[in-house]
Structure 1
Amino acid sequence: MSTVSVPPAPTPWRRIMAIGVGLAAIVAVVVLAFSWPSTTAKVQDLPLSISGPAAQVSQVEKALDASAPGSFSFVSADDRGDAVAQIKDRTTYGAVVLGDSPEVLTSSAASTITNQLLTSIAPKLQAQLTQAAHAAGVPATQVVEVKLTDVVPLASTDPRGSGLTAAAFPLTLGGMLGGLAASLLIVGAWRRVAAVSAYVVVAGLALGGILQGWFGVLQGNYFVNAAAITLTLLAISATIVGVTSLVGRIGSLVGPVVFLLIANPISSATQPLQFLPQPWGQVGQWFPPGAGNTLLRDLSYFPDAGTVFPWLVVAGWSALGVALALIGHFRQGIKVDLVQEQLPAAEARHSHPAHSTEPAHDRHPAHVA
């Protein structure tokens, strides 16, 4: 006897429309998240050291404000050495040194965007100082030379800084990959934590070897850089695992939503955090993508910069993820214990029903003499 297969019922039109609208909304959110920072960013509040005679400093600051209103935030420096120190500890992105030997100091390792901006200042400053010198009686044939110096240049293996910038997104994606894979493929909170721990250690060493040993993108100590990569990956993946262990598989959405759509666009990997609408530039540094990118840049090129904050950020997110996994583990254990406690009682009621519907004489038959 043959069986006739019944074709599945067609999808209701209402559901089709809901799916279409939902997918369109998701695409719109993704486009908005990734395009918003670049379309709203502008040159503003860039920290710039300036040193020299008070009269010259005042004139130059007014001239820079007039040519680019709101673009710079001026930081006073005692002399050229102090200005260089401020650049190297990442207080500023560059400097203008006035006096007998005027000079513009830049730092391509801090940002290629700001390096180009500060480089364009040199000819304007030279014209301004030359004009002032002529007004003070200096012969018109003499020109005030303004020297241009890149204090912290990029490595020859990454002269445009594109490799360091491009490394930011794979770190976010790599952390999400480990967290999602462990959350969806592995059962048990501690097993998930163990899996991502092994993953990030191996991935950190491998990515460090590729970015530093192969491509030459990273500079400095290989093992310190690998540790920074490892902790950044762990901060993202452990958080995904922790939330998933606590609330279930829906918690895995924390990766795409929090880290990809929110944290990554405001990580300031491609531009100074000051250029983003505030306070989002600062907010981005409290998330693993932003802190991890800043940490790798500072470890590679700015050994004098303070790195305590980004280390604490990635370590804090890692600890949060493990803590959430621990809470989820114990909550799951309590649920299992409750079920196990209820099973014997349920089995007893099934074997010896306390309230039977049978008549009494059927349950306790009388003895016949």
Structure 2
Amino acid sequence: MSDHSAAAARPTKWGFAALFGLVGALVVGVIVTAFVWPAATAQAQNLPVGISGPDAAVSAVEDALAEKDPSPFALQTVDSRDDAVQAIKERQLYGAILLGDQPEVLIASAAGAAPAAALRAVATQLQTQIDTTVQKALKDQLTAIVQALQSDQQPQLPPGAGSGSAEVPTVTVTDIVPLSPGDPTGAGLAAASFPLVLGGMLGGILLTLLVQGAVRRLIGLVVFGAAAGAVIVLVMQTWFGILEGDWLLNAAATGLGVTATSAFIVGLAALMGPPGIGVAAVITMLIANPISGAALPLQFLPAPWGEVGQWFAPGAASMLLRSVSYFPEASTAMQWLVLSGWVVLGVVLTVVGHQRTAAEIVPRPSELEPRAAEPAVV
């Protein structure tokens, strides 16, 4: 048996096998923590919500919310219902609580299922308080009548009491920006964020491994992003009806998000070599994706990670796609700039990496000079 065959057949040391198992378990733990931690620690807090109505009623709601830590809503006073509706359409507010003779709670289920559920719970609590107040008032009136009859006096009823004309106010819940009928719970839109990130990573890895040359990779990057955006929107909007709004704008937003992720992987791989693929994948999958705010609003995540996640490609892409699809009046300049910045970063890293590689391959001038002929040996 040759030395090479003997080395190949030599069993692995026990210590190395145990170390490999421990390191593998640690890696799995890190991955699980990265995905579970945001969801496990997420809670309703500081959601921008409008409020209007009598000062006494508004103060009562504010005092009730102040008792909770953290406060689920960051209340902002609105002048009218129209102002609240416009702020919701521009994604400045997740909803509004309108108090008065006709109480109403405005929600936007397209902004997220969790905020809509929290505001529906507020509507239920308001209705319970109204019913309790009315029942207490009726009980007090009956008590006064009984006491007056027992003392042989004429019962003194408050104005309007017993006329039957008074009605118990009903809290109305109005969905200002509802979800598409093809995705009534929003589960499809929330679940689509992970495939978008995975598709961008896959495109970047394939371009790195199968395409040679900086210019060719960049051309492939542009073609891949445009085609991926069109195919994804074709599936999500045309086929399943998850998205709404302008088809081409949705495709452009999706394509830019995929391109941003792919460009980062291509650029880092060009700069660092094969290890760059792993580094870019770790940053994208284990850091940026869990704090992207795709499934839950960024306010639900522990501070400041929700805001930080919006500066990465997955967070900006998720926010942009939801806005252009359901909130055409919302400002999206920041998301377009963030995604474009990641694309530019990937292009710069690609060019720098390929130039450095080319410089290392080109032989030095001293190596190109012909060597002096050695004397012939007699």
Q: Which moved more, 1:178-187 or 1:9-18?
A: 9-18
- Call closer, same or farther: CA 1:139–1:232 in 2, change over 3 Å: farther
Of residues 237, 240, 243, the one that matches 1:212 is 237
Q: Alignment partner of 1:300: what SS?
A: helix
Query: Does the CA contact (< 8 Å) of 2:265 and 2:281 recur in 1?
Result: no
1:107-186 counterparts in 2 under 5 A? Answer: 107-129=108-130, 139=161, 142-186=167-211
- 2:347 corresponds to 1:322: yes
Deviation string for 1:199-239 (max 9, x for gaps)? Answer: 22211111111111101111111111111111111101111
Q: Distance in 2 between matches of 1:81 and 1:58?
A: 22
Q: Distance in 1 between matches of 2:40 and 2:127?
A: 33
User: TM-score, with normalisation over the residues of structure 1?
Assistant: 0.89
Query: Does the CA contact (< 8 Å) of 2:201 and 2:262 recur in 1?
Result: yes
1:244-255 counterparts in 2 under 5 A? Answer: 244-255=269-280
Q: Distance in 2 between matches of 1:87 and 1:151?
A: 8
1:67 Cα deviation after fit: 6.1
Query: Does the CA contact (< 8 Å) of 2:65 and 2:71 recur in 1?
Result: no
Of residues 297, 301, 304, the one that matches 2:329 is 304
Deviation string for 1:90-147 (max 9, x for gaps)? Answer: 1111100122321111111111111111111113212334556776967597422211
- Call closer, same or farther: CA 1:31–1:167 in 2, change over 3 Å: same
Specify every segment of 5 or more residues in structure 1 that has no aligned partner in the other structure, as ranges: none
Query: Does the CA contact (< 8 Å) of 1:65 and 1:72 recur in 2?
Result: no
Give the partner amino acid of 1:6. S
Q: Distance in 1 between matches of 2:2 and 2:351?
A: 52
Give 2:367's aligned residue: 343
Q: Alignment partner of 1:120: what SS?
A: helix
Q: Alignment partner of 2:302: what SS?
A: coil
Deviation string for 1:154-194 (max 9, x for gaps)? Answer: 11111111111111001100000011111223332332222
Give the partner amino acid of 1:118. L
1:316 Cα deviation after fit: 0.6
Give the partner amino acid of 2:291. I
Q: Distance in 2 between matches of 1:52 and 1:74?
A: 13
Of residues 240, 248, 262, the one that matches 2:287 is 262
Q: Alignment partner of 1:109: what SS?
A: helix
Q: Distance in 2 between matches of 1:4 and 1:62?
A: 81
1:1-369 counterparts in 2 under 5 A? Answer: 6-7=5-6, 8=8, 9-66=10-67, 70-129=71-130, 139=161, 142-337=167-362, 339=363, 341-345=365-369, 348-349=370-371, 352=373
The percent identity for this pair of structures is 45
Q: Distance in 2 between matches of 1:221 and 1:65?
A: 41
Q: Distance in 1 between matches of 2:4 and 2:342?
A: 53
- Call closer, same or farther: CA 1:86–1:197 in 2, change over 3 Å: same
Deviation string for 1:59-84 (max 9, x for gaps)? Answer: 22222334675111101101111111
Q: Alignment partner of 1:105: what SS?
A: strand
1:13 Cα deviation after fit: 2.6
Q: Distance in 2 between matches of 1:234 and 1:20?
A: 36
Query: Does the CA contact (< 8 Å) of 1:96 and 1:105 recur in 2?
Result: yes
Q: Distance in 2 between matches of 1:222 and 1:88?
A: 19
Specify every segment of 5 or more residues in structure 2 that has no aligned partner in the other structure, as ranges: 141-157
What is the aligned residue count? Answer: 352
Deviation string for 1:297-320 (max 9, x for gaps)? Answer: 111111111100111111110110
Q: Which moved more, 1:51-60 or 1:108-117?
A: 51-60
- Call closer, same or farther: CA 1:152–1:97 in 2, change over 3 Å: same
Q: Alignment partner of 1:6: what SS?
A: helix
1:85 Cα deviation after fit: 1.1
Deviation string for 1:309-366 (max 9, x for gaps)? Answer: 11111111011000111111222232233x1534323xx33x536xxxx8xxx88x9x
Query: Does the CA contact (< 8 Å) of 1:65 and 1:71 recur in 2?
Result: no
Query: Does the CA contact (< 8 Å) of 1:51 and 1:83 recur in 2?
Result: no
Q: Distance in 2 between matches of 1:80 and 1:55?
A: 18
Q: Distance in 1 between matches of 2:361 and 2:90?
A: 53
- Call closer, same or farther: CA 1:103–1:334 in 2, change over 3 Å: same
